Amino acid sequence: MPSSARAHQRLAATVGAVAVVMLTMTASITQSLAQTYPTGPVRVLVPFGAGGATDVVARVFADRLQQRMGQSFTVENRGGAAGQIAAAAFARAPADGYTLMFTTAAPITVAPLMNDKVQYDPRKDFVPVAVVAVQPVWVVVNANSPSKTLADVVKQAKDNPGKLTYGTSGVGTELHLAAEAVARSAAIQMVHVPFRGGGEVITALLGSQVDLAALSTASIAGAVKQGTLRVLAVSSPKRMTDFPDVPTFAELGHPGATMVPWWGLMAPAGTPQAIVARLTQELEAASKDEAVRERLKATFVQIEFAGPQEFSRRLDVETALYGEIIRAAKIKLGQ
């Protein structure tokens, strides 16, 4: 064999050996990173105010992650602009797993559809970690309201065009979209009054500052139990077990408002896959934890886990659905 061929073989063997060593080292580092993360406090941004549904669910899972992973997971509320304020800050966070965001679809699939000047690209700047819970949208009124059914609300809106007000936790939230889908289906006009979180909406509704509200179950559960709110309809595909007498939007002739919003955790793009995988694993375990389910039982939150791939698929589906509603209702920021 010519010396040049032998030299080439030796070089190839050396390169191959180096590649094997590098792959082994990378795997070792990745495994080590997954096992040791986190080594310090973790911030969990919540893009809505304290006391609302997202805040409630975020704190339950943050507490469980803290117990399971041995480091503090501190929830930080940054409400405003349907979650865009927190999302913009999150997009600038280091991709090291120590700043996460527990969110709804509002700043992820909805905001870019309403505003082409958002300060982030949710599909490029964020990595889906896991969906942990879902919950439909409910239309509720003050228990003292003369409206006993959704049909009563529709009649009141038709008798008083543009005067009926409804509250949600922000422009472009699933709550807002569901209400607008119902309004268009019923051919009525209502005035949207956005707040910074579900807690503020409840306060306004109980104070008769708005006529009705579109909220998640976690926000309304306490007030419904106390008898201060009346539930008129729900956005789920079928009636909810906890509220068997409450009809769905589809039953009432508004199938376009059928949706089941999710809650999930995201990490900044570039976060090591080992950390994303560890968080996914821990969240799946937490979703099966009886203590977590017990804490959320009173809110009627539906625990439902979905990993990164399914999470990403849902984002694609929702972008199409919500885009149709936004274009049809001509929803813009500031409404």
Give the pLDDT of residue 170: 83
The DSSP string of 87-132 is HHHHHTS-SSSSEEEEE-SIIIIIHHHH-TT-SS-HHHHEEEEEEE
Low-confidence ranges of the chain (pLDDT < 70): 1-8, 11-34, 333-335
Q: Are strands 42-46 and 99-103 parallel, antiparallel or unpaired?
A: parallel
Tell me if 110 sits within 8 A of 175, measured CB to CB.
no
Using DSSP, state whether 30 is helix, strand or coil. helix
Give the pLDDT of residue 25: 45
Give the pLDDT of residue 17: 62
Give pLDDT tens digits for 51-96: 888 999 999 999 999 999 999 999 999 988 878 999 999 999 999 9
Task: Please state the pTM of the whole predicted model.
Answer: 0.76
Give the pLDDT of residue 281: 98
Using DSSP, state whether 209 is helix, strand or coil. coil
Residues 6+ apart with CB under 8 A from 277: 34
Residues 6+ apart with CB under 8 A from 247: 150, 233, 234, 239
The DSSP string of 259-302 is ---EEEEEEETT--HHHHHHHHHHHHHHHT-HHHHHHHHTTT-E
Give the pLDDT of residue 215: 95
Cβ atoms within 10 Å, residue 213 = 28
Nearest to 126 by CA among 275, 312, 287, 263: 312
Amino acid sitting at position 47: P
Give the pLDDT of residue 6: 67
In whole angstroms, what separates CA 4 from the centre of its chain?
Answer: 62
Nearest to 271 by CA among 107, 98, 122: 98
Cα separation, 17 vs 93, in Å, equals 38
Give the pLDDT of residue 41: 98
Cα separation, 177 vs 106, in Å, equals 10
